[in-house]
Amino acid sequence: MRRLLTGLVAVALPALLFAQVPRRFPPDSLINVKVMPRTTPPLQLIGVMRNFSGDLGVRCQFCHVGEEGKPLDQFDFAIDQKRTKLVARQMMLMVQEINRRVDTLPGHDANSLQVTCATCHHGVSRPAPLSTVLTEIGTLSGADSAVRAYKALRTRYYGRAAYDFGEGTLNTAAFRLGRANKFDEALAMLRMNEELYPNSSGMSVFRGNIELMRSDTLAAESAFREAVRRDPANEEAKGRLRTIGKQP
């Protein structure tokens, strides 16, 4: 009996290995698709996959088991091993749901837009607003890390739709860091913003607000005055001066 079992295992094992090893790319058929129809032509599914990759700014191995630089027939596309693949499947369902709702909009017609992964992700895997990214990094790792992160992201993504490098982003990040009592970090964001967008009156109001948060009324007054000097029509800055009992 024992010998018989061993014999069976010896026969079964190579058969299993055979089923696993020689994969073809593109595959002849789909093995483990749960959202797309099983009958989708493989080339059509691969077109969808290329869109996913572009929309998230990633490569196939972000979701699939396989090595950078290795041929795609050595990837195991069917296995559900990576968290990101499972998230992506949920995202596919979410996008279907959203588009079902979009289809019911009044005036909806053939020219109406559909939501895709790019609508939210626009080239990044975690579609967080830049002000959120910087607030998180500033809170966790301090001013230098947040400044470095901003510069690196700006170098990589400036001119794309991925992140908003306009003046407002660093003001917002500074304000949120200030509210979290991270004053050095907040002021570092504003110093960098001042270099990028010199002489902004609005930014000077933000600086004043952060000085107020850390109870430096003198520095706040000087920041609000600087805002008025930069733009004599800045009513917000004048209002802030009145609030702290100063004549604009």
**Binding positions for ligand HEC, rule: CB under 6 A:** 27, 30-36, 45-46, 49-50, 52-53, 56, 58, 60, 62-64, 72, 77-78, 84-85, 87-89, 91-92, 95, 115, 117, 119-121, 125-127
Mapped onto helix, strand or coil, the DSSP state of residue 60 is helix
Residue with smaller CB distance to ligand HEC, 53 or 139: 53
Tell me whether residue 40 or residue 145 sits nearer to ligand HEC (CB atom): 40
Segment 175-183 long-range contacts (CB within 8 Å, at least 24 positions apart): 175/206, 175/209, 175/210, 176/131, 176/135, 177/135, 177/138, 177/139, 178/209, 178/210, 178/213, 178/214, 179/213, 180/135, 180/139, 181/213, 181/214, 182/138, 182/139, 183/210, 183/213, 183/214
Q: Are 52 and 35 in contact (CB under 8 A)?
A: no
Cβ closer to ligand HEC: 88 or 137? 88
Nearer to ligand HEC, 58 or 219 (CB): 58
Nearer to ligand HEC, 64 or 238 (CB): 64
Q: How far is the CB of 169 from ligand HEC (least distance, A)?
A: 18
Distance in Å, CB of 218 to ligand HEC, minimum: 41
Distance in Å, CB of 126 to ligand HEC, minimum: 5
CA distance 206 to 220: 9
Task: In angstroms, give the least distance from the CB of 118 to ligand HEC.
Answer: 8
Residue 20 contacts residue 9 (beta carbons within 8 Å):
no
Per residue in 38-47, is it b (16+ CB within 10 Å) or e — as a string? eeeeeeebbe
Nearer to ligand HEC, 96 or 217 (CB): 96
Identify the residue whose tokens are 């972000």. Answer: 62
Least CB distance from residue 140 to ligand HEC, whole Å? 16
Q: How far is the CB of 25 from ligand HEC (least distance, A)?
A: 7
The secondary structure of residue 52, as a DSSP letter, is H
**CB of residue 90 to ligand HEC, shortest distance in Å:** 8
Give the Cα-Cα-Cα angle 74, 27, 118 (nearest 5 degrees): 90
What backbone torsions phi and psi does residue 215 show, to the nearest 5 degrees? Answer: 65, 30
Nearer Cβ to ligand HEC (60/213): 60
